[in-house]
């Protein structure tokens, strides 16, 4: 009798496990996430146990109309991103935000004080509109820029601006009590071997970045 009871309990447990849906992850990023060999694609290979909705767009910013286009302003478009993710996946269990490189372009040099405020508003919007918070909301500090001599003029000064922003990103993650991965520091030393053009990761760099994010997901 006892054996039969334990057997039934085991069946119920296995059935519950088999019915469990994979966690659904929304990715908000820029060209490093949108690339076919980018970090988001590498993450999906490394951690296939999740369902992904990758809405990374080349040129995307946290909160500026890059190239004069409001479609490249994540803060403005957050409601539509969340709706698209829900249409594709249903609920949203986790959100990964890897943005900020384009906010550091030369054209936005005089607007840098707005970047932390925009990021603060974006994180609050995700918490309130998606219901995702704590360690299920992951903020990623972007990888570095190369030296200006290796970049197009529109990116000159970008690394200095981004370097100043990274501690503010970390402070905002602490304020929101969300996850934080500092890829700027993690990949800074090896960045010359990890990029294609001084800004965008090559496949090796994207794979390394994805591995760091995958480790975060598995531990949180």
pLDDT at residue 163 above 70? yes
51-54 and 179-182 beta bridge pairing: unpaired
Domain presence at residue 4? no
Give residue 18's pLDDT. 46
Average pLDDT over residues 192-211: 97
Structurally, how many domains does the chain consist of? 1
Domain presence at residue 99? yes
Q: How far apart are CA 191 and CA 11, in angstroms?
A: 50
Q: How confident is the model at residue 12 (pLDDT cuts 50, 70, 90)?
A: very low
Query: Tens of pLDDT along 56-77?
Result: 999 999 999 999 999 999 999 9
Average pLDDT over residues 126-147: 98
Q: Report phi then psi at 21, rounded to 5.
A: -80, 145
- 157 is written with which tokens? 């000064």
Domain presence at residue 82? yes
Report the CATH number that the domain containing residue 41 is assigned in CATH: 3.40.50.1110
Nearest to 99 by CA among 116, 79, 87: 116
CA dihedral 97, 100, 102, 104 (to 10 degrees): 180
pLDDT at residue 149 above 90? yes
Domain presence at residue 45? yes
In this prediction the pTM is: 0.91
pLDDT at residue 11 above 50? no
Query: Tens of pLDDT along 22-36?
Result: 999 999 999 999 999
Domain presence at residue 179? yes
Give residue 6's pLDDT. 44
Domain presence at residue 54? yes
Q: What percent of the chain has pLDDT over 90?
A: 90
- 116 is written with which tokens? 């932390």
Domain presence at residue 104? yes
Residue holding tokens 């009871």? 5
Query: Tens of pLDDT along 173-192?
Result: 999 999 999 999 999 999 99
Domain containing 34 equals 18-219
Give residue 19's pLDDT. 60
Domain presence at residue 110? yes
Give residue 194's pLDDT. 98
Query: Tens of pLDDT along 92-133?
Result: 999 999 999 999 999 999 999 999 999 999 999 999 999 999
Give residue 14's pLDDT. 44
Nearest to 122 by CA among 160, 148, 96: 96
DSSP one-letter code for 195: B
Q: How far apart are CA 183 and CA 209, in angstroms?
A: 7
């Amino acid at each position: 009798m006892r054996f039969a009871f334990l057997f039934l309990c085991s069946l119920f447990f296995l059935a519950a496990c088999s019915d469990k849906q994979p966690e659904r992850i929304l990715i908000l990023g820029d060209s490093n996430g949108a690339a076919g060999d980018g970090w988001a694609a590498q993450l999906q290979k490394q951690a296939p146990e999740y369902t992904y909705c990758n809405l990374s767009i080349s040129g995307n910013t946290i909160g500026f109309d890059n190239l004069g286009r409001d479609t490249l302003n994540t803060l403005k478009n957050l409601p539509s991103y969340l709706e698209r993710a829900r249409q594709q996946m249903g609920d949203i269990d986790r959100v990964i935000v890897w943005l900020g490189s384009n906010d550091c372009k030369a054209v936005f040099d005089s607007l840098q004080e707005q970047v932390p405020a925009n990021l603060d508003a974006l994180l609050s919007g995700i918490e309130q509109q998606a219901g995702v918070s704590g360690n299920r909301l992951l903020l990623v500090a972007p990888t570095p820029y190369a030296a200006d001599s290796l970049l197009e003029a529109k990116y000159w000064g970008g690394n200095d601006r981004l370097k100043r922003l990274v501690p503010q990103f970390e402070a905002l993650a602490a304020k929101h009590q969300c996850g934080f991965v500092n890829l700027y520091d993690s990949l800074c030393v090896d960045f010359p071997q990890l990029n294609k053009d001084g800004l965008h990761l090559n496949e090796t760099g994207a794979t390394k970045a994805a591995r760091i994010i995958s480790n975060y997901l598995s531990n949180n």
